[in-house]
Amino acid sequence: MKPHTEHLIPLTHTAQNRCFGCGTANPGGLHLHFLLAPDGTVVCPATISDLFEGPTGFLHGGIIATLIDETMSKAVRASGITAMTRHMEVDYRRPIPSGSSIRLEGRVAHKEGRKHWAEAWILDDAGMRYAQGKGLFIEVHPR
């Protein structure tokens, strides 16, 4: 995927969002800030601290899966839809050093009714993939 560097628009959330991935009201969360590219791709530059390590010096695999899941979810939400993860797969290609600069990118690949298939990547500064994933999200209607 070509890196997106221009014309990114911030995705906004409610003030009391407690989401572990992006919630500003969650003191223990990752506090990710997503941006939207003109082609519908979501982008998030991030640095994840050593508080989220597995092996010393590297991010925990569950945190990597969370980053992939959150990015795919934001890709679906960017079109104004609330959806929940039904199924996802993660391919861990290289260990991600904690505290390093990374870039999350994701997009919706296909839609069919309430079903939304998405994909996401975690990249280093040179554009090499640390991890990638794909998933199925089902649209839900908030109460």
Average pLDDT over residues 36-42: 95
pLDDT, tens digit (0-9, with 9 covering 90-100), for 78-137: 989 999 999 999 999 999 999 999 999 999 999 999 999 999 999 999 999 999 999 999
The tokens for 9 are: 């628009």
The residue that leads in pLDDT, 3 or 66, is 66
Q: Does the pLDDT of residue 4 top 70, yes or no?
A: no
Residues annotated as catalytic (active site), given as ranges: 69
Q: Does the pLDDT of residue 41 top 50, yes or no?
A: yes
| Contacts of residue 104, Cβ cutoff 8 Å, sequence gap at least 6 | 32, 34, 42, 43, 44, 45, 46, 67, 70, 71, 120, 121, 122, 123
Instruction: Give domain limits for the chain.
Output: 9-139
pLDDT, tens digit (0-9, with 9 covering 90-100), for 16-29: 788 888 878 888 88
Q: Which CATH architecture has domain 9-139?
A: Roll (3.10)
Q: How confident is the model at residue 142 (pLDDT cuts 50, 70, 90)?
A: confident
What is the pTM (predicted TM-score) of this model? 0.92
**How far is CA 90 from each of CA 4, 35, 64, 76, 135, rounded to the nearest angstrom?**
22, 22, 9, 18, 9
Q: Does the pLDDT of residue 12 top 90, yes or no?
A: no
